[in-house]
Amino acid sequence: MSSITFQSFGTLATFRVAFPLMLVALSSNMMLFFGRMVLAKYDVSVMNAAASTVLVCNIFQVAGLSITAMAEIFVGQNNGAENFKQAPNAVWQMILFSCALLFVFVPIAVWGGEFFIASKFQALGLGYFQITMLGGFLVPLLGALASFFVGTGKTTPLIISAIIANITNAYLNITLVFGVDGLISPLGANGAAIATVVALGIQVLFLFFVFTSHSNDAIFKTRRPTFDKKQMLECLRVGLPNAFSRMIEIAGWATIVAYLSTIDESYVTVQTLCHSLIIMFIFAVEGLSKGITAIVSNAIGQGAYWAINTVVKSAGNILIAILVALWFVLWYAPEATILKVMNQAQFVDPELIRHVTLAFKGLWVYFAFNGLSLIIWGVLTAGGDTKFIMWSNTLSTWMFAVIPTYVWVSSFPATPAVPYQYIAPVYGFLGFVIVAIRFYSQSWLKLNLNKAAL
């Protein structure tokens, strides 16, 4: 495997690296989005319960994923420096770490539901929570395996596995949520959870077999699982701040949903719709951010620091194209988007449609600033500057999103659109300003396996 080269590296070259990762991110988000869409057709109350519950599950899943995905930094830098035999070491440590998380996820699944799920959603959401948490370790395990393919640029297996997983998820969602006459009783939210866990399991098995294939073993020696304490601790050192950051961020949004659920269901419905579209469309900027991490990691490994600014500018050009496409969905034709996502019969209230339409416009502005932040996050992550990401993201989420939402809705005249129409855009802008200052300070290179000076 030859490492990424940076001569004449521009927008098209950046897109070639990022596009497969966008597809992979689309696949992961599509599974969640499709499940919500099916549940919306089944029953809006069930969808709201599942949406609230999955936020709690995501706190633990994404925390694990945020740690294991950091293996891509070590894979990328070793790949860039052509230390191919060292590349899989971090991956194996994160595979072992993911399996060890079973001792965390299983007890939470069995006993944690009554503590983590709002009482309003206990009846409809408890089974969904338990099933999702029992399979929760698959998410970080998927991240560990994917880090090898991201760091080496061998993204085709990721795309194939994503397609297989989404087809499986779609078929099982429809079959299990609604049931089959005479064969399977409708399982509702539980069916959606089972579908996602099974699809993730198939995706993990596929990637594991490719990771340990003869062709990869011949170059990278991927069939040599070992416990490397030093590498494990280094992965945790880089990954734990990232995990804490994502946990606090998701906990913040879960807190918002829990609070809004005490006011009126229309608030939860607007929030759920906006969050569902974030899940659906954030794939583009998340994949772009992953691509930036892969490219910059390889650049650091090669000592090609001059290419980093070029890559960031190229990513900005790609983001503009993404935002133009998203404008049609969220700004130009929001009502059509609403009716596509939800059961039309349940959206006859023109006032609710008006609130969602206003929220969508604010959501587009949030997407723009969040996309810029994620581009810079990709660079900071490649440089191992995850502690700064942790503190900036934690403070931004609670200071600029959670607390303002509570204060506005509880103390001033508010509508269901307020959290996304006004608060989310300001939150996105201030978060971007913070990470941009860090990037231009050039003090973000914390991890360099070659120890070259920046």
SS3 state of residue 206: helix
- From CA 373, how far away is CA 369, in angstroms rounded? 6
∠ Cα 129 25 167 (to 5°): 70
For the purposes of burial, counting CB atoms within 10 Å of the CB of 199, is it exposed (0-12), middle (13-18) or buried (19 or more)?
A: buried
For 167, list phi and psi in degrees, rounded to 5.
-65, -45
Residue tagged 């993990």 (tokens): 204
Type of residue found at 56: V
What Cα–Cα distance (Å) separates residue 49 from each residue in 23, 44, 254, 289, 420? Answer: 28, 9, 12, 31, 20
Q: What is the pLDDT of residue 452?
A: 43
Each of the 454 residues of the chain gets a pLDDT tens digit; together they read: 444 555 546 788 788 778 877 877 777 778 877 888 898 888 878 888 887 788 788 889 988 998 999 898 899 888 888 889 999 999 999 999 999 999 999 999 999 988 888 788 888 889 999 999 999 999 999 999 999 998 888 888 998 999 999 999 999 999 999 999 888 899 999 999 999 999 999 999 999 999 999 999 999 999 999 899 999 999 999 899 988 888 888 788 888 888 888 888 788 888 888 887 887 788 889 889 988 998 888 888 888 888 889 999 999 999 999 999 999 888 877 766 666 655 554 555 778 888 888 999 999 999 999 999 999 999 999 888 888 999 999 999 999 999 999 999 999 888 889 999 999 999 999 999 999 999 999 888 776 666 543 3
HEC string of 366-400 equals: HHHHHHHHHHHHHHHHHCCCHHHHHHHHHHHHHHH
Q: What is the pLDDT of residue 24?
A: 73
Retrieve residue 189's tokens.
Answer: 């939210």
Task: Give the distance between the most distant pair of CA atoms in the chain.
Answer: 68
Residue tagged 């307020």 (tokens): 418
Instruction: Report pTM.
Output: 0.79
How many of the other CB atoms lie within 10 Å of CB of 368?
A: 21
If we measure between CA atoms, which residue out of 24, 37, 29 comes closest to residue 346?
A: 37
If we measure between CA atoms, which residue out of 64, 71, 30 comes closest to residue 447?
A: 71
Is residue 250 within 8 A of residue 58, CB to CB? The reply is: yes
DSSP state letter for 3: P
- From CA 96, how far away is CA 212, in angstroms rounded? 15
Retrieve residue 131's tokens.
Answer: 């099933």
Q: What is the pLDDT of residue 197?
A: 96
For the purposes of burial, counting CB atoms within 10 Å of the CB of 407, is it exposed (0-12), middle (13-18) or buried (19 or more)?
A: exposed
